[in-house]
Amino acid sequence: MDKPEHDNAAHDNARGKTPVQAAEQTLEGDSTTVTSEETTAIGEDEIITLRTRVQEKEAEAKANYDLFLRERADLENFKRRMQRDKAEALRFANEPVIRDLLPILDNLERAVSHAQGASNSQSLVEGVSLVLRSFLDMVEKHGVSRVSAKGQLFDPAKHEAMAQVENTEVAPNTVVDEYAPAYLLHDRLLRPALVVVAKPPADEKKSAT
């Protein structure tokens, strides 16, 4: 048998809640249920989005790794090619100089051949002089210049003293003779001049003391 409505109201009042409060609680419960379902739907969408992003990043990482491997292979090939080119360049570095030496060898052979059939030595001197001129022209072509030191003050950076001689006609430490000239390659000293340097006579040294 159903209880009267006033009995239910009395029961709610007994629990400390009015009918309005009970209705509000029912509405709140319904709102909570809807919010939970929406949260579940949003979570699934986020998971799908994250999975898509992960797949995109994996594909991007794979493409970058493939690119790295290709560039590394290209770099190794470039290094090997440069090493081969360097070795080849070193092997034939003297080719221009040797090519320019060949005409000098030809002139030297002609001078020797001509001297063998001549009755005097003058022809040999002329032939060797020709070879010397050809050789000096060749080294000059490659940036080599000949520098005479005679008459200059002795410079240890450019000259190498082979002997000293007493000389009153020039100032002490003046180069009075040279055994071999100096040679420059552009601005770099290839070989110092081998020179004889003047010194004051012994009696001048004694008078100075």
Same domain assignment for residues 161 and 188: yes
Choose the final residue of a domain: 109, 142, 175. Answer: 142
Backbone φ, ψ for residue 178 (5° rounding): -140, 135
Mean pLDDT of 125-131: 79
Same domain assignment for residues 150 and 133: no
Same domain assignment for residues 134 and 160: no
The pLDDT tens digits of the residues spanning 95-107 come to 777 777 777 777 7
Per residue, the 3-state secondary structure of 129-147, as one string, reads HHHHHHHHHHHHHCCEEEE
Q: Do the domain assignments include residue 164?
A: yes
**CATH code: domain of residue 183:** 2.30.22.10
The residue range of the domain holding 196 is: 145-209
Same domain assignment for residues 158 and 104: no
Same domain assignment for residues 131 and 171: no
DSSP character for 153?
Answer: B
How would DSSP label each residue in 90-122? HHTTTHHHHHHHHHHHHHHHHHHHHHHT-SSSH
Mean pLDDT of 151-162: 94
pTM to 2 decimal places: 0.48
**How many domains does the structure of the chain reveal?**
3
Q: Do the domain assignments include residue 87?
A: no
Per residue, the 3-state secondary structure of 168-201, as one string, reads CCCCCCEEEEEEECEEEECCEEEECEEEEEEECC
